[in-house]
Amino acid sequence: MQILDGKKLAKKIEQEVEFETKEFKEKTGRVPGLAVILVGNDPASATYVGMKKKACDRVGFYSVTHEMPEDISQEAIEETIKMMNKNPNIDGILIQLPLPKHIDTTKLLELVDPGKDVDGFHPYNVGRLTTGLDGFVPCTPLGVMHLLDEYDINVQGKNCCVVGASNIVGKPMASLLLNANATVEICHIYTDDLKEHTKNADMVFVGTGVINLIKEDMVKDGVVIVDIGINKTEDGKIVGDVDFEKVSKKASYITPVPGGVGPMTIAMLLSNTLKAAKLHSKEH
């Protein structure tokens, strides 16, 4: 069993981004800029945003966080997004999800300029991903693909089971695997008998937020496990969606939680923001 070390690869990618950012600055006289919208006081969201800010600082990006109160109006957020769409110093716009119940998330995501949509959630970029065209891809599934590449794990022709069908992880994950010629099955909360689907899969990708959802009797020997889940146990421990202790004994490769997919998500955000900056500099 080999651990897929996302922390190590994320560090390597970060160093590459830092080097390319210096080159970009010398060539264009500007630095890539990322703007984040953070609404309310969800502690997990605040932690993520803090981590993103630190990562931007490390690679030499300009970054700004718009912190907004829980009860802010839809219009006020929309105005901020419009302002950032027009701001030439901002290359990437990120709306930290989830948003409070009274906010229409879809409307906000559609308002972001697709060329600044470094999270890859705009329907324009979703469409480009689905049809195999270049665009911005959601950071978490993109990070997973880089992690598999790093360990020379080829998905072509493999039976891949994606558990969880969210727009943020499951659906884009399935699209990327399909684009890489894998045979893809998507399972979700309404799937009858999950085990029936996971036990024959060569690779299982799971992101549901359910502790120990995937158990050892649900997978075959030699399976590749990518655990995208991140959960807190009652005693404050961070764990994934897979029973790591037992499943790892059957797996050929497995991602740890923490230290697997998480760091890769932030590395891809940096990479997407740099990509956006390069595209914008060509336009001017």
Catalytic site residues? 52, 96, 119
Decide if 4 contacts 255 (C-beta within 8 A): yes
SS3 94: strand
CA distance 9 to 147: 7
Q: Alpha-carbon distance 94 to 118, whole Å?
A: 7
Strand ranges, E, within the chain: 2-3, 33-39, 62-68, 92-95, 159-163, 183-187, 203-206, 224-227, 231-232, 238-239, 253-254
| Nearest CA among 13, 5, 7, 12 for reference residue 275 | 13
Residue type, 257: V
Kindly give, in sequence order, each residue whose CB lies less than 8 Å from that of residue 140, ignoring residues fewer than 6 positions away. 168, 169, 173, 207, 228, 261, 264, 265, 268
